[in-house]
Chains A and B, each alone.
Chain A
């Protein structure tokens, strides 16, 4: 990069890093992006239309490809070769990583729900966790800009958990499926509304990206660019400005500082040659994912910063949050043998169950502080390695059972907000290092009563909805049995949280570290709380807003 005189160095090419690069390069700043994984081109590498039967093990997941053979994740999943992480004794945490250009945006669920005023001010309401250092009105215009750029389908529902987008921002959502319509009627009888999901999937063409053609699962990646990933959108758009250069297979080891504590650049390992390189930069933006960025800061120790960089508050690695998760589902007799049609749609929820309990929480009717939503899994899916149903016998009768059950299974996936607690955090393992000689992250985890009560409520609610559909889920598991593991929902955030004061937060509202003005964090690490609504849209929105602010600072000579 000798001939490329860049101003800003971005670590990570996922949701946050790519949005930062897009916004800054568009504003005329030269940006160098480092990505720890390999180069990746969805246009040539996405297994579009491939059938499960063409894949080893009918596409089933395993320790090489946790979410199935065709999942877009490269060199990652719950484990990354040669790059372990650890968990403290008696705790368990799962950490999903990708080592590829575009990071986890190549595989994510694309659910894109705005946080609301309610979400940003949880502590003011119930005294738990932390407030965000801005109000919903401050970020609302940036949500509009991000949704318009990314392309989000959905509608303004008027529900209190779904703040509206400005007119013309959202693209039209696809029609609901039969299963979703049945659930909607059953839930409505219990006073629970369903609503069109907001999803970063184009239903109308945008820029060089085609509209969805309602086939081939989004988790495989999307070569036509309908399902948003940075490798078909923000990265090529930023490159087109001529202001972006990218180095892949570049694993950043430390953020470097001078004797005055000013950030001077980074050191990274070129994975192809196993050599360490130093790069100088005026500004460094960390967007390596919440836990990878926190790991990097904790590993960037110096005499001036003995506890790690940007950590005068002691909050780096703390406040680790995931979404709560639980699954519940069963065969719905009324759906057996129903007429078959193409139910792929955009291959995920057309309708979902948003959180409906704000008023009940205000009235103190619920014994848990924060909300959740249900995602729905119920459609005529492509046959794969697992068939739903309790089948008996053999021959023609057996096949009739399979066909009769096809499309009759309904599954609910709960996704809820957790409250940060002192037992959930990450630090650096004092003994274990990865292949690149970088000390690894060590996780600590424990759900609190807030989450367990929420899961209990969710399971009971789901059971009641199933009952209205004439389906019996049987005896419910305990919340301890039902709650998924920390990290398993892949919404880990909070490890470099933003706040109003350098005493208890790592960055200000612009993602600028309190300790080093030319160091920014633009991934999920800056979240002050973790609303139940899937973090990626807000990561991108913050990265856009904060990069715009950074650009103004650079132009004014303030940084």
Chain B
């Protein structure tokens, strides 16, 4: 049994995301969490089916009315890396990390809902996205401190919601139950119901951070397709034939063909 700072109890010590985890460990954890989540879902037989708020779980409350956790966060007092850090060997842990074990595990589960494994492309937690989120919200700078309030509030809201609807923390929910909550908060649009407006906005910030952290990794860079930052001998080759052909089509569609800038083939 581990008591974390939020006084919630994490009773599955082996099912915790740890920052220093190897990818293999992280993968095992996510599989274990998925397996545990699958069990009740399998019982209800609706793991992959669309889930409405009323049938998602066991004695589930209906989708909640508006609520918001008013967190009292102790301020980050660490100093930054300063104005002359070593740029060749960047500091690995520039300031103390502040997420609790339970928060980190929740971040890992949410990150993998946002960025799941797809074939050979790893999931977010497999490439240590939760550690980047932890570094981000623990950083002693203004923008990160603003994000810390938003993201920690979102994490607390998600667990509160899970408790209200299903009587468990989000991590302990079935995949279907998790999906039910996600479907309510992961779309920040004009149609978002009033009671989810604030969490949808906060979750957007979390999603942006997770996506950035994922696509910054070597695996993410490969996945998005960025092919630069490699030395080229001789002149810059410019666009590919395929890229020029696409441009020609775009110019034609926009009625701009006659205004095309001359390029040397």
Contact = CB atoms under 8 A, between A and B. Distances in A.
A340 B261 CA distance: 20
Interface stretch (B28-36, B40-48, B69-77, B112-120): B112-120
A383 B226 contact: yes
Contact of B238 (A45, A53, A57, A175): A175
B221 A383 contact: yes
A75 B83 contact: yes
A69 B235 CA distance: 29
A486 interface: no
Contact of A56 (B94, B186, B247): B94
Interface in B232-250: 232-233, 235-240, 242-244, 246-247, 250
B207 A394 contact: yes
A185 B248 CA distance: 11
A212 B144 CA distance: 35
Interface string A277-298: 0000000000000000000000
Interface string A356-398: 0000000000000000000000001111111100011111101
A398 B224 CA distance: 12
Give the interface SS of chain A, mostly helix, strand, loop or mixed.
loop
B216 A384 contact: yes
Interface in A338-352: 338-346, 351
Contacts of B130: none
Given A335-B250, A383-B220, A392-B187, A403 B135 contact: no
A178 B182 CA distance: 38
B144 A339 contact: no
Contact of B212 (A182, A194, A345, A384): A384
B219 to A, nearest CB: 10
A382 B247 CA distance: 22
A56 B236 contact: no
A25 to B, nearest CB: 29
A269 B256 CA distance: 61
Nearest to B192: A392
Contacts, number: 237
B218 A53 contact: yes
Contact of A64 (B82, B226, B230, B243): B82
B114 A395 contact: yes
B1 interface: no
B226 A382 contact: yes
A81 interface: yes
A51 B259 contact: no
Contact of B232 (A181, A335, A342): A342
Interface of A: 38, 44-47, 49-58, 60, 62-65, 69-70, 74-77, 80-81, 172, 174-178, 180-182, 184-186, 188-189, 194, 203, 212-216, 220, 334-335, 338-346, 351, 380-387, 391-396, 398-399, 402-403, 406, 468-470
Given A182-B250, A341-B240, 4 more contacts: A69-B87, A178-B247, A344-B228, A396-B116
30 contacts: A45-B88, A50-B87, A50-B88, A53-B213, A53-B220, A56-B81, A56-B94, A56-B139, A62-B141, A77-B83, A174-B236, A181-B239, A181-B247, A182-B250, A185-B254, A212-B236, A215-B229, A220-B87, A340-B225, A340-B227, A341-B243, A381-B226, A383-B216, A383-B221, A392-B186, A394-B186, A399-B115, A399-B118, A403-B225, A468-B254
Interface of B: 80-85, 87-88, 90-91, 94, 113-116, 118, 132, 135-136, 139, 141-144, 182, 186-189, 204, 207-208, 211-213, 215-218, 220-221, 223-233, 235-240, 242-244, 246-247, 250-251, 253-254, 256-257, 259-261, 263-264
